[in-house]
Amino acid sequence: MSIRRERSILEEDLAKEIIAMECEALDRWGKGDPWGFTEISTAEVTYYDPYTERRLDGLEALRQFYASIEGKIRIERYEMINPRVQIHGDTAVLTFNLIDYVPASGGLTREVHWNSTEVYSRNNGEWKIVHTHWSYIKPKLQD
């Protein structure tokens, strides 16, 4: 087996590990528990989503933001579409599109479509998130 092939298997394992971490945090998120994400984010984490007025800097800012939505999110199920992990040394850029299926009035289900970026970095053998960016796919804006 060539060195190149070995590396590719290692990278594949790492990609699976990163995706599994993300799914575990997403599972908790869908039950109203945002702390799965703070547990795997570093002190320096930077963060955007469609509700932030500006970039959030640092884990404490993220914790305060999440405290305001704890218990308020309910996602029935989600689809992680076409996840990709770009590995550069001790950094792994995980990107995927996401469909959340959210309970709506009248027993219906609403879909929310996301662009998702999670930059993981390895420190002392531990992979954690250093940057998160969530945005809507093709948001339909008011005029």
- Between CA 59 and CA 43 the distance in angstroms is 5
Distance CA 89, CA 87 (A): 6
H/E element, 17:
helix 3-30
Q: Lay out the site mask for a second copy across 44-63 (x = CB under 8 A, - = otherwise).
A: x-x-x-xxxxxx-x------
Least distance (Å) between residue 33 CB and a second copy: 24
The yes or no reply on residue 138 touching a second copy (CB under 8 A) is yes
Question: Pattern 15-44, binding to a second copy, x per CB under 8 A?
Answer: -----------------------------x
Please identify, using beta-carbon distances, which residue of 51 and 107 lies nearer to a second copy: 51
* 86 makes contact with a second copy (CB under 8 A): yes
Cα Rg of the chain, angstroms: 16
Report which residue type is found at 113. H
- Closest contact distance (angstroms) between CB of 25 and a second copy is 19
Owner of token pair 């998702």: 116
Q: Residue 89: what residue type? A: G
Binding residue (CB under 8 A) for a second copy from 1, 3, 108, 141: 141
- Smallest gap from Cβ 141 to a second copy, in A, equals 6
- Residue 118's nearest CA partner among 31, 54, 24, 53 is 24
Shortest Å, Cβ 2 to a second copy:
21
